[in-house]
Amino acid sequence: MMAETRMNAMIPKERIGVLVGPKGSVKSTIEQKLFVDLKIDSESGSVDIGVKPDSPDPSYALRAKDMVLAIGRGFSPPRAFSLFNEDYTFDIVDLHDYFGKNEAEIRRVDGRIIGKEGRARRNIEELTGTLVSVSGHTISIIGTFESVSMAKDALEKLIEGRQHGTVYKILKKRRRKVKKEKALGLWEGSEPAKKKA
């Protein structure tokens, strides 16, 4: 039997209630589906994740950690639960990496990425097929590996100051290319479609 593995995630204290959920429902859903045990310290925001002995896959703990972090970074539980899908991944863009502790710049970029009435964020989600959450100094993304990579690239362009319209055009072009490659069978290592004689 494998040795019990534990890992830790830190989330903002104000998100602990969301992670626990009504009557503990969110916490118990994660624990049951991913064969983990969550020990939540509401004083510090620390979440200790342990793998249950009957877990069919120790990597479920990493998925549980991503889910905990996703909720911590502003995703609602139903959106975070899309990480139960094994094809989905989670990534965080930290604006501190771009602007250090310059809160005014971070707030300005947050505003650009959210857009008026959340329009810019929704456009990025629709064009990339991802879920995006803007929370404080972080922008978090959930989706397939390819779609997260597309969204991250678009977000980095917006952070660098590119116009929204330019970024949307790039995304539309990339999306068309992906669709074309899928249609030709060039996607995910599959054989190219044979041309009819």
Contact indicator for 68, 47 with CB cutoff of 8 Å: yes
Q: Is 26 inside any structural domain?
A: yes
**Helix, strand, coil tally for the chain in percent (to 5):** 55, 20, 25
pLDDT band at 2 (very low <50, low <70, confident <90, very high): very low
> Distance (Å, rounded) from C-alpha 197 to C-alpha 194?
9
CATH at residue 96: 3.30.1370.10
Residue 195 lies in a domain: no
Mean pLDDT of 48-69: 93
Same domain, 26 and 61: yes
Q: pLDDT tier at 182 (50, 70, 90 boundaries)?
A: confident
Same domain, 110 and 164: yes
Give the mean pLDDT of 174-180.
85
pLDDT at 176 over 60: yes
Q: Confirm whether 81 is domain-assigned.
A: no
106 part of a folded domain: yes
Does one domain contain both 47 and 106? no
Domain annotation covers residue 50: yes
Mean pLDDT value across residues 171-194: 71
Kindly state whether residues 95 and 180 are assigned to the same domain. yes
Average pLDDT over residues 71-90: 96
Range of the domain at 39: 6-76
Instruction: Please spell the DSSP secondary structure of 88-105, one letter per residue.
Output: EEEEEEETHHHHTT-HHH
Percent of the chain with pLDDT over 90: 80
Residues 72, 100, single domain; the answer is no
State the average pLDDT over residues 85-92.
95
Query: In this predicted model, which residue has the larger pLDDT, 196 or 6?
Result: 6
Instruction: Clarify whether residues 100 and 154 are in a common domain.
Output: yes
Least confident of 4-8, 184-188, 190-194: 190-194
Computed over every residue of the chain, the mean pLDDT equals: 90
Query: How confident is the model over 96-149, as pLDDT tens digits?
Result: 999 999 999 999 999 999 999 999 999 999 999 999 999 999 999 999 999 999
Give residue 123's pLDDT.
95
**Does residue 83 sit within a domain?**
no
Burial class (CB in 10 A: 0-12, 13-18, 19+), 128: buried
Q: Of all helices (H) and strands (E), which one includes residue 66? A: helix 60-72
> Would residue 46 count as lying in a domain?
yes
Residue 48 binned pLDDT confidence (cut-offs 50, 70, 90): very high
Structural domains in the chain (count)? 2
Q: Which strand ranges, in their side-by-side order, compose the sheet holding 36-41? A: 6-10, 46-51, 36-41
- pTM (two decimals): 0.87
Task: Please report the pLDDT score of residue 197 as a whole number.
Answer: 38
pLDDT of residue 181: 79
